Amino acid sequence: MAEQPRVYSIKELNRYIKMKMESDPLLSDIMLRGEISNFTHHSSGHMYFTLKDSDSRIKSIMFASYNQRLPFIPKEGTKVIARGNISVYERDGNYQFYVQSMQPDGIGSLYLAFEQLKSKLGAEGLFSDARKRTIPRFPRAIGVITSPTGAAVQDIIITLQRRYPLIPVYIYPVLVQGKQAAPEIVKAIEAMNRFGEADVLIVGRGGGSLEELWAFNEEAVARSIAASRIPVISAVGHETDFTIADFAADLRAATPTAAAELAVPSITELQQQLQRQQQRLMQGIRYRVQSDKDKLQRIRRSPFFLYPRRYLLDHAERLDRLTEQLEHRTKRIAERGHTRLARLQTTLAGHNPGERVAFAAKRWQSASKQLEQAMTLALKEKKLSLHSTMKQLDALSPLKVMSRGYSLVYDKQEQQLIKSIRDVKLGDIVKVKVADGQLDCRVDSLRGDQINGSNK
């Protein structure tokens, strides 16, 4: 008796057929030519329509996330070439064409060629971000490959002169449409690389139809751009125009003017940045100068500046006191140690006066010697440190300057340092401090320096 087949639900059958269709390589990425009918643009943004030809038809849908990028508005009766995949709508059991991109059929053959070449070069890694070069921030020269008579070359030159007027611009004139355009563009790119004068190349033209821009969709042009040692900015058409050259270039610009703006920095912006940096530098200098002035004022008010010898003698006296305290404490520690050792010997004499006592005495003597050495070393280091500090203070001392014949002049009360003849009057008593003492002097005359022929 033959085995009965399994009973499936309708949902399971539709899901199985859907899985089969979506796993088919042909149906997962297919392009269809047909005419749009029963077109509905739903409030959700999705487009529902039937794609038909003279013999058959298929239900189609284009979701809003895809149709937002359409370069045209589909209408009833429009002949198109659509690209997408075939799948099953499980609820109704209908198979449908899910459209991802669409172009009017008037340029169908060119669009197919464009898509095929794009897929081919993309699979080779020609459009990979990893191979793209960085546009230098400060190029030495710009090379422009375009038509010498079009509006694009004028837009590029004007923008470069406005933004970065000192940069040289080398123009290589070429045809930008027609059969000879692609070979000339390839030749120009290779020549610019041989010359090596430019750091950036701008390759492009103004806007136009797909047929007029087709030279920049040629495989030879794309490969020459990718092979260029000089970074290339593509500037083909308007913002909505895309060519194979755009994908192969290191950077795409929406327009020729935008390409010039991307190629060079703005000298105005650079000047503004320089001014901001200059302001920051001046603020830093003013802060540093003010900080040093405040530090100098604190030093001038310090005892060291007014009485340097007394300041050094105070430190020397303090060191002597510390030395005496250290020696006294060392002596006391040693005495305590001997006392404890004697007690230990007395305590252990009645029990085990042999090796145990000798070992303890030897251990104590060793510890006492180490302590004495440590104290001596610490004292020596303190003396060396103080000696070094005194040398530094002595080097900074005004006495060093005064020993060469300079002096400090104070008023009679020794409260104010006299810096100008305006600080005294005839007959005033002043105190003059020299290197080895002090003079009491009276002002008998006042004479100012001769500056620019007049007394100041």
- Alpha-carbon dihedral sign for residues 49, 54, 58, 64: negative
pLDDT band, very low/low/confident/very high, at 454 (cuts 50, 70, 90): very low
- Tell me: do 25 and 72 sit in the same domain: yes
The reply to whether 250 falls in a domain is yes
- Tell me: do 47 and 164 sit in the same domain: no
- Tell me: do 172 and 114 sit in the same domain: no
The reply to whether 293 falls in a domain is no
As beta bridge partners, residue 204 has 235
90: Cβ contacts below 8 Å, ≥ 6 apart: 11, 14, 15, 18
- Listed in sequence order, the DSSP H helices in 124-180 are 151-163
The reply to whether 176 falls in a domain is yes
- Tell me: do 105 and 152 sit in the same domain: no
Q: Which residue, 243, 265, 287, sits at the end of a domain?
A: 265
The reply to whether 274 falls in a domain is no
Q: What is the mean pLDDT of residues 37-45?
A: 92
The reported pLDDT for the residue numbered 307 is: 58
The CATH number covering residue 97 comes to: 2.40.50.140
The reported pLDDT for the residue numbered 453 is: 43
- Tell me: do 313 and 347 sit in the same domain: yes
55: Cβ contacts below 8 Å, ≥ 6 apart: none
Task: Determine whether 382 is exposed, middle or buried from the number of CB atoms within 10 Å of its CB (0-12, 13-18, 19+).
Answer: middle
Least confident of 17-21, 239-243, 290-294: 239-243
Domain that holds residue 312: 303-396
- Tell me: do 88 and 15 sit in the same domain: yes
The CATH number covering residue 195 comes to: 3.40.50.10550
The reply to whether 452 falls in a domain is no
Q: Per the structure, how many domains does the chain have?
A: 4
pLDDT exceeds cutoff 70 at 1: no
Question: Are the beta carbons of 192 and 198 closer than 8 angstroms?
Answer: yes
- Tell me: do 242 and 364 sit in the same domain: no
- Tell me: do 148 and 243 sit in the same domain: yes
- Tell me: do 38 and 102 sit in the same domain: yes
Give residue 253's identity as a one-letter amino acid code: A
pLDDT band, very low/low/confident/very high, at 353 (cuts 50, 70, 90): low
- Tell me: do 412 and 321 sit in the same domain: no
The reported pLDDT for the residue numbered 344 is: 65
